[in-house]
Structure 1
Amino acid sequence: MSNRDRQLNKRRFLGFLFLCSLIFFTWLNHAPLMANIVTSQNTDISQQVEQGVKSYEAGDIWGAIETWQKALDAYKKANNAKNAAVVSENLARAYQQLGDTKEAIAFFNEAITYYSEAKDLRQVGRMLTDLAQTYNNQGQARKAISLLCSNKFDIKSDTKQPCESNSALQIALTNKDSRTEVAALGILGEALRLVGNYDLAIQYLEDAAKVKDSGYAILINNSLGNVHVNLGQLWYIRAKSAEQTNGNKAEEFQQNAIVNFTQAIKYFKISLELARKQNNSLSQLQALLNTIQVSYKSHDLNIIPNAAINSKIQEAISLIDRVPDSSTKAYGAIDLAMLPSDFKITSPITQCSKTGELGKLSNTEAIDILNKAIIVSKKIQNSRVESYTYGALGHFWECRGDELQALKYTQQALIAADQKLAAKDGLYLWEWQAGRILKKQNQEKESLEAYQRAFKILETIRSDIVTSTRDVQFDFRDVVQPLYRELAEFQLQQILQASVKSDSSKSGVSDALETIDSLKLAELQNYFGGDCIVNVLNPKRVDEIVDNNTAVLSSIIFDDKIALLLTLPPKVNQSGETLIYWVQADNKILQKSELQKQIKAFQKSLILGQGRPDGYDRTLAIQLYDLIIRPFVKDLKAAKIKTLVFVQDGFLRSIPMAALYDAKTQEYLIQQYAVGTTPSIRLTAPKSSDRHLEKALILGLTKAAIIDKQEFGALDYADKEIEAVKQVFPNSRFFIDTKFASETLRTELGNKNIFPIVHIVSHAQFGTIPEDTFIVTGNNSKLTINELEAALSNVRGQENALELLVLTACQTALGDDRATLGLAGVALQVGVKSAVASLWSVQDKSTALLVEEFYRNLKKPGMTKVEALRQAQIKMIKLTGEQSEFASPAFWSPFILIGNWV
């Protein structure tokens, strides 16, 4: 029975998705217990326990649960803690087998309580270890770490840490329980992998390997392989990011990816060889599937030849019938059946090959394997596994154009998933799938309803998905984001087809805005890999947040077009309508690729404009104004709008809206409106405050620096900018060059000093992922965004603190949507109300002029932040004489206000 209910030790929020998950076993024996029952007290009850064991072994899980529950009630009544502990443990295992994690956790906790009462500390340690693994399976790695070692465990540390006396690992060490020790170390390593601390994960897994005669060599090698897969994936993404931000590091990062992927393959090979020697078919299947998975993730690097991949696939197929019935067998069968022929597909359960090619397996092979998985799921009575199997069959037929078959199996998946919501994470997948299929059948009403149900379910579990394991974060664009975009497009199309005066249309606009904003929130959470952003959610609607002089222009990018939604303030929007417009040129919807091309050219012209005496060509600025702003000009004027807040999507985040040019009035947009930006309207609280701007913390770097072999040039006019800030705030504290370090920031803020403004004059790089996002400090060092957040968190909540963070020499990965997402979210992530940052580095004395004017404006009574920046930019536009070159938007437009614009 030890292999019976070994299952995938990976949260299944993306439902067994082969290319988004890594397969590995549980670490402890999950067989039901009988031997430890003390029979002298009541033979009848002990016979009930034995009958439950027999039912379990026969596959009658519900029968076993019913019998054990009666026995547990009797033991509780008799105050028999020892036997109650054993039966509670059995019940926990049974519910695990059924996929009911909530009940499993409850009974593991009961078992811990009763074993503690019986003073059986060894079993307490084992139950804590099992419970930790259960939390790991659900993606709650931090909870697992607290049970295994300490609730004060620093998950970002690079060194091992002491464990508390009541933790699973320490109990195992104290009781010399090597079996639990290696299991706890292994699960701790896996938990650290899930939170992204790969180096520390390797340390604990290597410690597990040192435990003599543990019998866990297969598992340890498997887990080490998983960590190196994640490392390889991380390095590969960093290599792609470096191609845009730091080209001389791209090759090095790619080589690191190859090294880690290769190391992962070696570990899986060792695991496979050991499994073969032990004739362990389940372990063999696991190692093969993991090897195949590496081949998909690293395919562009040509590490594993296609012939070798196909050989592993065929070997795995031949093993399926020999593997004991379990959820692992079923999931493994699904993974094999859904293997795509297209290596670019990262989510085979939601994507179909655009080439029309079949999967790696023939139709006959895939259907046969999926039918076997259904038989297994019914035999082990696991509705969760059953749901995923039917869902996979539904998607199989969806990709092959048979909507009737696809819908039939998808509906069966929904029925199975809804049993006690055991597969709530799968429920959103199958509702989404049903929506896609129904739409193809032109059943638009039913399709939209299915999409909306999927959206509501996803919203309840979104934080767990997008902030979970790093490998899931990597594939967010392919496995989560499309649902939001498809639903938003569907909603907008429905609105435009309906009467603009109908109640359903008004409701649809509100729903569409909610969908769009939820997408922006999900993207932010995914980028930063944390849930702290969620803590500042504003529950109000857009029209409830803005004042009477403010409008919000939201954009959303679809596959072939872009939508703009303008929300006007309540005084002119009493009907509750939002204006919707598809970006058009010459009365034809403009293709996404065409607009993206124009924006890149516009941005490039602005950057190059810094070095041109004649400034830049306004043609593109005029074209973009006509595409984005012109459709709403009459409405904005009628509403007497003064502030225009943008909630941009994708590549639109990289455009400095202030520089768009109205050829009719011969004005820049900033001359018409104060321009603000926020990554998500629900993450913004536009409240005016009684600002006491008396001083700032000024941090600066004037000298050239080298970070990760990347050269950052000297900021020749940084000293002038610093002096300008000091002129406005004479009571400021400043730390320049070698005195500017991450420790400086922590120390200054840690002393409870009140600095409403933190002004940083240094290169700030925003990359595709947070690892490539940092601020350059003195001594060729860097301040990561996580370190910045940790330092600023010291003064959160203090009165008049953290009004504004200013970064005046930023650099984003141009053309990279995620890099600009990081820039847009920096204020929210580090916990300040607003941020001023530049879309690219402006290395000139013009910055000092703009900054000084901005701060002087900000100190004026009643002046909002966004208006203070506007007035500073307008003053730059009007410069004459020797400073006239700075009138070009190349110098002032990159500076944007993020967050609270008031």
Structure 2
Amino acid sequence: MATKNYDFFSQLYLLLHRSRSQGFWLSTAVLTFLLVTTVSPGVAQHPSTFPAATRESLVLSTQNYLKDTEHSDASTLLESGKTLFAAGKLTEAARIWQQAAVSYSEQKNLLGQARSLNYLSLAYLNLGEWEPAQRTITQSLNLLQTPENLPEKGTSILAEGLNTQGNIQLALGQTATALDTWQQAAIAYESVGDITGKLGTQINQARALQSLGNYRRSQKLLEQALAQLQSQPDVAIQATGLRMLGVALQAVGDLSQSKELLEQSLAITRQLEGKNPIFGSDMGATLLSLGNTLTALQEIDAALKRYQQAATVATNPLTRTEALLNQLNLLVKNQQWIEAQTLLPQIQSNLLNLSPSRASVYAQVNFAANLMKMSMGEWGDAETRRRGEKRAGGAEGAGGAGGAGGAGGAEETMKTKGTIPNSQFPIPNSQITNNKQQTTNNKQQFIAQLLAKAIKEARTLQDRQAEAYALGQLGHLYELTTQWQEAKELTEQALVIAQKIKAADIVAPWQWQLGRILKEQDQINQAVAAYSSAVATLQSLRQELVTSNPDLQFSFTESVEPVYRELVALLLQSNPSQANLKQARELIEALQLAELENFFRQACLQPLPQMIDEVDVKAAVVYPMILPDRLAVIVSRPGKPLFHYETKLPQAEIENAIDQLRLYLSPHFFDEDRLRESQ
């Protein structure tokens, strides 16, 4: 088996694993079928059929390409589907694999049919079509009912199918069943000597064990996999395996070990590249993953260096764009505005060279999100924009408090203000009234055009998950420009799609966003409902939130904690009822538990809720909560209703006072100093 094929397969494996939070499900089946491709290695190799041109010509090329394959035999169809899947064209890949399965069935080729159905199931899984994914993988495995009589090729197909089935089971919350399935897959891979396939299932088993709270078993399994790799004589497979393990450890938060393994993989890959230039693109993927780990370790300068190196050595536009975007994200996060500004032309140019795929949609949305963050200083915070809109009587704010109370608000806005070119979306507003207004308007319109393009591309690909992601981000842009009705409608559209495909990691932020928008429209009851749904979704993601690296999944302080605090603030508005006080108290307790789990990076705590009043009938309990503009306190006393009081102070001032008090708790200070600070 050609070494370069192993490397191409591993590179795509890393792409899919790294993109799990963006919707790709890990599958060693993908790795296996890409072993037979003959293209050069790369993280996401795009077919040569798609020229670097405008999106319209790319779509046309895709259509012509598919027409040509429709008359090909089953084997060619199977390979065409692999190429399309590798390029992120999931719907097209599914259609081709369905044709392949029918063709193999007509030929009475059970192994070919089983493999085609396995790949088809994998495509359905990544599209969020759970029922077809389950049905198709069952059909595939039923064709392989007597594994003891299977030839080696059949056992390999069985291993791939079991691995896909495990991913479906995990997606549906059947974690223990998925673990058993992956154990069977590992045995099948080992029986045919597929080292890479076995390693993939071991990583999947470790994920399942983490989700079940079996952290020691998970760690032991990964250690066993590492020991097997280090004794592997094939250095190319060793480099691939070390990179896979490094990414897996990064995802579960074992950052020091991840860094060590990725550096080992990079050293081996550099040696291989010195002998054969084809390994050069492997370096790009390893450098990118190493940059991600260093970012999570807060080694900012080192991470930026690795991202820069990855962008330099990358041999395809997607890898290069991903490296540049990660670099931009890190610069924006650390407010290095000048350095970030210099990257924008490069990224914009690279985006034009990406062929349509889920990855290209996410890249465009990522770029737009960073541009919004870079522009926030010019646009002001939400409260400042809201006050400006109200002073203007809502005239500029299409869909604001007075502009679009009915269903036709968005349409009226589009008629009066015009739409983004080649889309149905209205042009964003600007509340800026100084001489930078035109520049700001241009930036907002550019971001809106970028997101509208991403939405159109996702719809062309029939990729509902990518569409939900892009729609929600466009809704966020309208939120920033105080176009509340458009923001609400787009966010609701994104939510409907994300909920239908059960993409909880997309549902949660859009529920929060909808709550913020409804609050700005003074629809408090509806806002509370949206916030409450967001909290419930985050709690359903509890395990994923704490067992995954926060930079790869959710940032607790940016995406989780504020949801709780903002909902408490809503519940405590205007003489809250006892029901609201009880819900606020439960939220404070839930946030404290979430903070503990985030700190320990483990969700192994299984709390048994019990009212403190029942534990100690004489106890009074104080529940403080720091909110953006005040300190709120709820007090529970035995046999009496809850009551609360507030102190109006900015959050920063409250936190500074607490930090000062902590300092005075040191035995080096006098009691009178502590008493003075505690007042």
Give the Å deviation of 1:528: 1.1
Choose from 520, 536, 551 the match for 2:592. 520
Give the Å deviation of 1:7: 5.8
Per residue, is there more helix in 1 or in 2?
Answer: 2
Per residue, is there more strand in 1 or in 2?
Answer: 1
Q: 2:464 corresponds to which residue?
A: 383
Give the Å deviation of 1:437: 0.7
Q: 2:564 corresponds to which residue?
A: 484
RMSD of aligned alpha carbons: 5.3
Give the Å deviation of 1:95: 2.3
SS at match of 2:551: helix
Q: 2:370 corresponds to which residue?
A: 339
Contact 2:285–2:319, Cα closer than 8 Å, also in 1:
no
CA distance in 1, matches of 2:493, 2:518: 15
Choose from 463, 466, 480 the match for 2:546. 466
Q: Answer with 1 or 2: which has the greater Rg.
A: 1
1:119 and 2:152 correspond: yes
1:299-345 deviation line (CA, Å, top 9, x unaligned): 56xxxxx5553232212112223211111100100011121465698
Q: 1:133 to 1:319 in 2, by over 3 A?
A: farther
Contact 1:205–1:223, Cα closer than 8 Å, also in 2:
yes
Contact 2:121–2:164, Cα closer than 8 Å, also in 1:
no
TM-score, normalised via structure 2 length? 0.65
Choose from 607, 622, 626 the match for 1:553. 622
SS at match of 1:616: helix
Choose from 321, 331, 339 the match for 1:295. 331
Contact 1:49–1:68, Cα closer than 8 Å, also in 2:
no
1:207-238 deviation line (CA, Å, top 9, x unaligned): 5453645955434433334334433553x4xx
1:230 and 2:293 correspond: yes
SS at match of 1:555: strand
Contact 1:156–1:197, Cα closer than 8 Å, also in 2:
no
CA distance in 1, matches of 2:457, 2:530: 29
Q: 1:700 corresponds to which residue?
A: none
Q: Structure 2: any 5+ residue segments left out of the alignment?
A: 1-7, 24-28, 39-71, 183-198, 210-214, 386-431
SS at match of 1:418: helix
Contact 1:28–1:183, Cα closer than 8 Å, also in 2:
no
Contact 1:179–1:214, Cα closer than 8 Å, also in 2:
no
1:22-61 deviation line (CA, Å, top 9, x unaligned): xxxx9948779999xxxxxxxxxx9788778878959996
Q: 1:147 corresponds to which residue?
A: 202
1:371 and 2:452 correspond: yes
TM-score, normalised via structure 1 length? 0.50
1:335-379 deviation line (CA, Å, top 9, x unaligned): 111214656989xxxx86989899898122211211111122112
Q: 1:803 corresponds to which residue?
A: none
Choose from 505, 510, 516 the match for 1:425. 505
Contact 1:217–1:271, Cα closer than 8 Å, also in 2:
no
SS at match of 2:644: strand
Q: 1:87 corresponds to which residue?
A: 116
Alignment of 1:601-612 (within 5 A): 602-607=661-666
Give the Å deviation of 1:65: 4.7
Alignment of 1:856-875 (within 5 A): none
Query: Which residue identity lines up with residue 88 of structure 1 in the other structure?
Result: L
1:414-450 deviation line (CA, Å, top 9, x unaligned): 12212231x2211121111111111111111222211
Q: 2:676 corresponds to which residue?
A: 620
1:509 and 2:581 correspond: yes
Q: 1:459 to 1:289 in 2, by over 3 A?
A: same
Query: Which residue identity lines up with residue 512 of structure 2 in the other structure?
Result: W
Choose from 348, 356, 381 the match for 1:317. 348
Q: Structure 1: any 5+ residue segments left out of the alignment?
A: 17-25, 36-45, 237-256, 301-305, 498-504, 584-588, 625-902
Q: 1:444 corresponds to which residue?
A: 524
Contact 1:129–1:147, Cα closer than 8 Å, also in 2:
no
Contact 2:307–2:323, Cα closer than 8 Å, also in 1:
yes
Q: 1:457 corresponds to which residue?
A: 537
CA distance in 1, matches of 2:240, 2:620: 57
SS at match of 1:446: helix
CA distance in 2, matches of 1:34, 1:326: 19
Q: 1:475 corresponds to which residue?
A: 555
Q: 2:400 corresponds to which residue?
A: none
Q: Which has the higher contact order (CA 8 A, sep 6+)?
A: 2
Give the Å deviation of 1:411: 1.5
SS at match of 1:471: coil
Contact 1:561–1:591, Cα closer than 8 Å, also in 2:
yes
CA distance in 2, matches of 1:463, 1:354: 37
Contact 1:554–1:566, Cα closer than 8 Å, also in 2:
yes
CA distance in 2, matches of 1:27, 1:199: 28
CA distance in 1, matches of 2:216, 2:163: 19
SS at match of 1:227: helix
Q: 1:531 to 1:111 in 2, by over 3 A?
A: farther
Query: Which residue identity lines up with residue 567 of structure 1 in the other structure?
Result: S
Choose from 434, 443, 449 the match for 1:362. 443
Contact 1:598–1:620, Cα closer than 8 Å, also in 2:
no
CA distance in 2, matches of 1:93, 1:99: 10
Give the Å deviation of 1:124: 6.9
Q: Percent identity?
A: 24
CA distance in 2, matches of 1:147, 1:361: 50
Q: 1:538 corresponds to which residue?
A: 608
Give the Å deviation of 1:286: 1.7
Query: Which residue identity lines up with residue 518 of structure 2 in the other structure?
Result: L
CA distance in 2, matches of 1:75, 1:452: 50
Q: 1:764 corresponds to which residue?
A: none
Query: Which residue identity lines up with residue 434 of structure 1 in the other structure?
Result: L
Give the Å deviation of 1:105: 9.1
Q: 1:564 corresponds to which residue?
A: 633
1:188 and 2:245 correspond: yes
CA distance in 1, matches of 2:243, 2:139: 24
SS at match of 1:480: helix
Query: Which residue identity lines up with residue 489 of structure 2 in the other structure?
Result: K
SS at match of 1:554: strand
Contact 2:351–2:360, Cα closer than 8 Å, also in 1:
yes
SS at match of 1:581: strand
Contact 1:265–1:291, Cα closer than 8 Å, also in 2:
yes
Contact 1:10–1:137, Cα closer than 8 Å, also in 2:
no
Q: 1:404 to 1:194 in 2, by over 3 A?
A: same
Q: 1:81 to 1:515 in 2, by over 3 A?
A: farther
Contact 1:288–1:313, Cα closer than 8 Å, also in 2:
no
Larger mean Cα displacement after TM superposition, 379-388 or 334-343: 334-343
Query: Which residue identity lines up with residue 367 of structure 1 in the other structure?
Result: A
Give the Å deviation of 1:381: 1.7
CA distance in 1, matches of 2:223, 2:559: 35
Alignment of 1:211-290 (within 5 A): 212=272, 215=278, 217-234=280-297, 236=298, 257=299, 261-275=300-314, 278=315, 280-290=316-326
Contact 2:202–2:221, Cα closer than 8 Å, also in 1:
no
CA distance in 2, matches of 1:192, 1:320: 30
Name the count of aligned residue pairs. Answer: 541
SS at match of 1:339: helix
